[in-house]
Amino acid sequence: MLYSIPYLALITTLAVLAFLYSNSKIAIYKALYTTLGVGLFIFFFGFRGYIMSDWIIYHDLFYECTFQDIISFKLSADGYVEPGFTLFMLICKGIFRDYHFFVFISTLLNTILLLRFFNKHSDNILLGLMLFVVFDGLTIIVNLMRNAIAILIILNAIEYLQTRKPLQYFGLCLIAVSFHISTSLFIPLYFFFHIRFPRWCFISVIVLLNIIYLLHIPIFAHLLSMTGLDTDKTDKVIAYTQKLVTTSKISIGYLERLFTSFLIICYYNKLYEIRKGNGVFLNAFLAYLMFLFVFSDFPIIGHRMANLFAFGYWILWGDLIKCFAIENNRRLFSAFVYFYCAFRIIGSTQLPDFEYENVLLGARSYEERLYLHNKTFEETF
């Protein structure tokens, strides 16, 4: 609980500002609340110390990268580093050779891209920022620095997917891929991700995904066996997944996804009335569930791929609040959103690696945090 306090304070402040924003009719107050929330967001993440774990990789990459790496795709502990991200690191290093400066510029860029996305698709930026932090954004912006920029570039391409402008969409996709290759998955999505599928189709997919998840059907392992790869290796994968059958699949997170699915089904048509472009976000929600449920026996792969589509939550939960016709029900659901977000952020920030530090307020050195990380890893595993 102690490590969670700063993160809980962040989302609580954003929630309060979001509430004040939604209940204010004075433009200057709305602007003030937004400025305070965005400023807090940049301060919290832009001046963070060595928190979580992937800073160990990015710290070394930042100081070691050269222009040659743009062409050679330098190998690292995290695989290869895409040329766009390498160029970005080199530009930052050319301005000021300090890792914390690089983190600040990355956060600033991420925030600008995030604000542009919310300006286009959300009526309450502060609520969007809170949902972003809770639903995978914390991991994305802190631990997955390459993915973060790539994902947020893709999010700014969504408007061109909705308005059917292929040159702008594919152009942004290529820029995103230069930061992280996983976003290449969005290139073929242009052709169908905007489609409004019938509600019965949405329900059918939800039911099928839940059956796969609850019955522990190893879809991914069987897909591997169909690819013609080495039989012994695929058999080992299937055997590994079968060992996990005894693992409980019912969790608070699963119940929340079930509840969210139920609400979306109930207000499916209403969500389209609120926002014509919600087809993209509803399809993103399905993709999010698909990667979590189908790849449930390979949680690292599943969560990494699901991160690409977490943006569905950032928009849909805000729109679901508007779906309730009775004001009291809106308030009850808004309260549920906050308390669930608080519960989720507390549950996901329990390890010592999450101990928050700010370089402006005093943070431990690289060596001290590395020692803490290694000690945590040894005790946990």
φ, ψ dihedrals at 80, nearest 5°: -95, 160
- 350: its two tokens: 């329990």
In the structure, how many helices (H) and strands (E) does the chain have? 21, 2
Reply yes or no on whether the pLDDT at 243 is more than 50: no
- pTM listed for this prediction: 0.90
φ, ψ at 362 (rounded to 5°): 110, 115
Q: What is the pLDDT of residue 226?
A: 64
Residues paired with 362 in a beta bridge: 358
Q: What is the pLDDT of residue 65?
A: 87
Q: Higher pLDDT residue, 66 or 202?
A: 202
Distance CA 198, CA 129 (A): 30
Give the Cα separation of 241 and 237 in Å (integer). 6
| Dist. CA 39–CA 46, nearest whole Å | 10
Instruction: Count structural domains, the chain.
Output: 1
Q: Residue 379 has what pLDDT? A: 59
Task: Give pLDDT, residue 37.
Answer: 97
- For position 223, what pLDDT does the model report? 66
Phi, psi of 163 (to 5 degrees): -95, 5
Would you place residue 76 in the very low, low, confident or very high pLDDT band (cuts 50, 70, 90)?
A: very low
pLDDT score, position 69 = 78
Q: How many residues comprise the chain?
A: 381
- How far apart are the two ends of the chain, measured CA to CA in Å? 21
Q: What is the pLDDT of residue 216?
A: 81
pLDDT at 300: 78
Mean pLDDT calculated for residue range 283-304:
88
pLDDT of residue 295: 84
Higher-pLDDT residue of 327, 47? 47
pLDDT for the residue 242 = 46
Q: Is the pLDDT of residue 130 over 90?
A: yes
Instruction: Return the pLDDT at 234.
Output: 52
List the domain range (segments joined by +) for residue 117. 2-380
State the average pLDDT over residues 105-117: 97
**pLDDT tens-digit profile of 143-171?**
999 999 999 999 999 999 999 999 999 99
